[in-house]
């Protein structure tokens, strides 16, 4: 894999609640310089990032219902539509974990509610790349498989391992399980704890075709 190919797999990310005043400006400058797939920022920064990256070919990504996924479906859809208006081209939604767990336990009403929510999220994000964050660290393998199947059924472009704010990040096991579940056509994004070239390559080998990380520059510098 070349350095350019690796860059095009990375969502260069700054999702902290606090940080230096110029953090987003620096993120966008690096995204433009290195040719990352996407600059991933919090919703309040989408408009600024869109301005900074105009004409670069780098997409603007943001997170919806982040990091807990416990907003109502209506709020998540409204958040998605506003992000699109502000210039976002990629939307990473956080699944409602409690609803997912109830569905996996056999609650038919929860399953249908979750199906309806996921469909509404894809519809609200029409025109953008949509990803469903399933927060693997809190799920059994069976729950992960159900989440991936429902995301594929709803029309999401990707399933994503983690927010980076849970008790654990991406693992090779989870990426491989997700890839086996969704097949070769759907995207799998590994995120959380990817800090080195070795980490990145392990995720790619397991089946990830997108990486969410704040260490993208360091990873590429290892390839120099």
Residue 135 binned pLDDT confidence (cut-offs 50, 70, 90): very high
Q: Please report the pLDDT score of residue 62 as a whole number.
A: 98
Q: What is the mean pLDDT of residues 147-166?
A: 98
Q: Please report the pLDDT score of residue 100 as a whole number.
A: 98
pTM: 0.97
Q: What is the mean pLDDT of residues 146-172?
A: 98
Query: Shortest CA distance to 129 belongs to which of 153, 99, 109, 159?
Result: 159
Q: Which residues contact 55 (CB under 8 A, 6 or more apart)?
A: none
3-state secondary structure string, 27-72? HHHHHHHHCCCEEEECHHHHHHHHHHCCCCCCEEEEEECCCCCCCC
- Per-residue pLDDT at 39 exceeds 80: yes
Q: Please report the pLDDT score of residue 209 as a whole number.
A: 98
Mean pLDDT of the chain: 97
Tokens 């997409």 appear where? 59
Residue 92 designated active-site = yes
Q: Please report the pLDDT score of residue 142 as a whole number.
A: 98
DSSP state of 221: H
Q: What is the mean pLDDT of residues 32-49?
A: 97
Residue 20 binned pLDDT confidence (cut-offs 50, 70, 90): confident
55-58's contacts with Cβ under 8 Å and 24+ in sequence apart are: 56/31, 56/32, 58/28, 58/31, 58/32
CA distances 36 to 9, 68, 105, Å, are: 7, 26, 39
The domains found in the chain, sorted by start residue, are 3-222 (3.20.20.70)
Q: Which residues contact 73 (CB under 8 A, 6 or more apart)?
A: 116, 117, 120, 121
Q: What is the mean pLDDT of residues 115-144?
A: 98
How large a percentage of the chain has pLDDT more than 90?
Answer: 97
The active-site residue, picked from 59, 160, 174, 199, is 160
Q: Please report the pLDDT score of residue 98 as a whole number.
A: 97
The active-site residue, picked from 92, 144, 152, 199, is 92
Q: What is the mean pLDDT of residues 25-41?
A: 98
How far is residue 198's CA from residue 221's CA, in Å, rounded to a whole number?
12
Residues pairing with 189 in the sheet: 160, 210
The active-site residue, picked from 11, 174, 189, 199, is 189
How far is residue 4's CA from residue 187's CA, in Å, rounded to a whole number?
19
Two tokens, residue 167: 């008790």
Residue 107 designated active-site = no
Q: What is the mean pLDDT of residues 151-157?
A: 98
Q: Please report the pLDDT score of residue 21 as a whole number.
A: 79
Residue 189 designated active-site = yes
Residue 138 binned pLDDT confidence (cut-offs 50, 70, 90): very high
Q: What is the mean pLDDT of residues 113-122?
A: 98
- Per-residue pLDDT at 224 exceeds 90: no
- Per-residue pLDDT at 81 exceeds 90: yes
């Amino acid at each position: 894999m070349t350095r350019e190919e690796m860059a095009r797999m990375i969502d260069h990310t700054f999702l902290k609640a606090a940080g230096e005043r110029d953090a987003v400006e620096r993120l966008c400058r690096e995204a433009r310089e290195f040719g990352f797939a996407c600059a991933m920022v919090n919703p309040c920064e989408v408009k600024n990032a869109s301005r900074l990256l105009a004409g670069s070919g780098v997409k603007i990504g943001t997170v919806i219902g982040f990091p807990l996924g416990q907003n109502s479906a209506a709020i998540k859809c409204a958040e998605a539509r506003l992000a699109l208006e502000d210039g976002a081209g990629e939307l990473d939604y956080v699944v409602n974990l409690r609803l997912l767990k109830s569905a996996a336990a056999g609650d038919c009403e929860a399953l249908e509610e979750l199906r309806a929510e996921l469909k509404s999220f894809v519809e609200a994000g029409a025109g953008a790349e949509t990803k469903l964050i399933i927060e693997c660290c809190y799920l059994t393998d069976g729950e992960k498989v159900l989440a991936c199947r429902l995301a594929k059924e709803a029309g999401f472009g990707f399933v994503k391992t983690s927010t980076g704010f849970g008790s654990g990040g991406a693992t090779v096991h989870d990426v491989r399980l997700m890839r086996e579940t969704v097949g070769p056509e759907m995207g799998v994004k590994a995120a959380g704890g990817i800090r080195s070239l070795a980490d990145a390559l392990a995720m790619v080998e397991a089946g990830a075709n997108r990486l969410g990380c704040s260490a993208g520059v360091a990873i590429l510098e290892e390839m120099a």
